[in-house]
Amino acid sequence: MRLVIFYLILLVAQGFLSALLAPVPAPDLFLLAVLTLLWRVRPWQLVLVGYGAGLVQDLVGSGVLGSHAFALAAAALVATLVRAQLSNTGVLERALVVFVACLGKWVVMAGMLVWLTGGPFGLGRLGGVALIEATLTVAAGLLVLPWGAALLQRSRILQKELL
């Protein structure tokens, strides 16, 4: 039950922060919700969770259906590649995982933008938006990831032995 409340808090906080920081992009709490499961599930499961969370983000945020889904799946894939090289013990390791996941997300989003617009239109502003959102997401990740890890540690759901 605590995990459900945790993920609902992240969903509500995403909407609240997006409205509060309106001209500035809010941190991507959907990405952080996916990354809370990084050390608990297998990589292919995490990519599916990322795709599902991205679809929810597209439906809630009324974006282009599938754009965030594809980007979060790619972010989950990149995060699993980095996770294989690191442990989950330090602040810098968590920040690096979140940063690399944001980088993977924005590379895919840039490709989607080029594909949807038919050319490199709007890529100039994309770098600024990506930089601000990645910075805020890394900062929020330093708070959200330990909280999610503590909740998952207490819970009997998603234990490695059961998967």
Q: What are the DSSP calls for 120-143, one per residue?
A: STTHHHHHHHHHHHHHHHHHHHHH
Segment 79-119, tens digit of pLDDT: 999 988 877 678 899 899 999 999 999 999 999 888 888 87
**Residue 46: CA count within 13 A, CB half-sphere:** 23
Beta carbons within 10 angstroms of residue 134's beta carbon: 22
Segment 77-88, tens digit of pLDDT: 999 999 888 776
Please tell me the predicted confidence (pLDDT) of residue 29: 93
Which is higher by pLDDT, 149 or 122? Answer: 149
Rounded distance between C-alpha atoms, residue 54 and residue 89, angstroms = 27
Q: Average pLDDT over the chain, rounded to whole? A: 88
Predicted TM-score (pTM) of the model is: 0.89
